[in-house]
Chain A
């Protein structure tokens, strides 16, 4: 079951397609942020492809492993879910990957992201990394998926243990975990961590966080200066590029485009009809649906409670390790995925609904995501009671488009916007 040769054909295919998309977007002025996004996606995978010749190590990892540490140590990250997402969108044959995962004994209840990654790894869609890091930063699936992957990749591996609660003792433990990770990487590279470089990286991370907050403020405007797809792009950049100048360039492009619209008093679409709160993410095969919602229904995604930097915590680049440890508790996804929900995701969702004048919420309930789905009822009731808005629940599978055909999702959205229209 081990991958013996580094197969880069699939990654090259991804790079080619994304590169073409980037060039296409470049031709349209209002798509500057998209062009930057696709450009840095290309750079991300090119870094993986050229790592060997540049004498750099590639470390594969599961979501929210704080790429900052890898950047600080001049290691090339390969975020497995990111590769899986793009592969799922670009390369035919993901069902074959699910089959492979099933053959390897992974039950269908296991999140499709993990099954897809395992299937891709076994099928050698992914090059063999120099090491693997995984963590329970997001959920049980990310916590457990690494055991099989470490075996398939047959490389050194490290499990990063993230405590449940954002407490001083939790942060202390996690800081120790990060130190252990750094030692692991130092042994791998044969080089010591460059703490000055780490501080520089955390300065980028700090600026990125500020940009997130700045953009959040801009989106409060009515009409909203926002293209729906941007939040997915933005989240991607946070997850894969945090701590790099590339991330800053991307968010600055979004910020500038949004700011210009606000200055002009315009929205992204000519007529903004509905302001929508997005709960969790649309399926990877259905990103185009976000544009469709905006074009057909004038429905604009104004905020995403699962993917926001809320106010409060700040990064201090002079204390890179401590700041990074704290960030891992409150950053997008990681914070809301862990409890307590009452003073976390439930409270924040209601606040966003009010602050952003949302008229409805759309919740993407992925069958593999037990944590977000378990909150659905609390969110739905709280939004109804405290913000007076309805929430549509769209059952789907983030990675497997055969679970629910996209037509059905669009039909339900059509109905939902009719309902919202009727409420006006």
Chain B
């Protein structure tokens, strides 16, 4: 039986096809202005090359900000539960999850079955999110996927007084103009974000088995700072962006089975 999970995030849309708890395929697309269209093209892309059509998929669960705007989904589950379930699929021993998304950050605890036992989200504010890093990359004119590596080359991290997106942007710009190396500026910003993450993690149970999910976890510089601040080595999934969609697919499987019984 094939099932699918689809995660319509603020920046990216992700789809995962699974069969009997095994990953069949996945896709990652940008979320367009119309969530419904993004949902369709994302699932189409995931189906491509599998020889399957949407009709072959027994059950679809949607998650993410656009979860209620997916016409072909039979149910929707919050991204918090999906991230826990998805992370648990990759790493069954993980009990603490830091999800760094495009628009917010969450710290989640889960149990041995991947069910949420506690969670905390940052307040709606761009500081310390994927969007924030995009803005900074843009200001410093560094490609987004290079900022992490560049930050690792820093020899003298600049102490940032703020992660307020507005202030940090002008602070970063002023520093760059005064000739401070971009690597040092980036290291400072990554540091500031890591502190925010640590604050979130402190409000849940911080277990030694913890993982970082979401797009930002592909940023090696960011993961390095989190490792240092938290003092623990996170386990990282090969495709951390799809964990939400993966969790949704696992929920789809559970629901489909429930439907049959």
Contact = CB atoms under 8 A, between A and B. Distances in A.
A102 B199 contact: yes
A375 to B, nearest CB: 26
Contacts of A99: 195, 198-199, 202
A401 B195 contact: no
Contact of B167 (A95, A108, A405): A405
Chain B's interface size range is 10 to 19
A108 B122 CA distance: 11
Interface in A354-408: 401-405
Interface string B166-203: 01000100000000000000000000000100110011
A103 B199 contact: yes
Given A401-B161, A402-B161, A405-B161, A95 B195 contact: yes
A103 B195 CA distance: 12
A287 B123 CA distance: 31
Contacts of A403: 162
A405 B166 CA distance: 12
Interface in A62-103: 95, 99, 102-103
Contacts of B203: 102-103, 105
B202 A402 contact: no
A131 B198 CA distance: 33
A99 B171 CA distance: 22
B161 A103 contact: no
Contacts of B123: 108
A405 B171 contact: yes
Contacts of B167: 402, 404-405
A108 B161 CA distance: 16
Interface in A105-144: 105, 108
B135 to A, nearest CB: 18
Nearest to A407: B174
A391 to B, nearest CB: 24
A293 B195 CA distance: 35
5 contacts: A102-B203, A103-B202, A103-B203, A108-B123, A405-B161
Given A105-B203, A402-B167, A403-B162, 9 more contacts: A95-B195, A99-B195, A99-B198, A99-B202, A102-B203, A103-B199, A103-B203, A401-B161, A404-B167
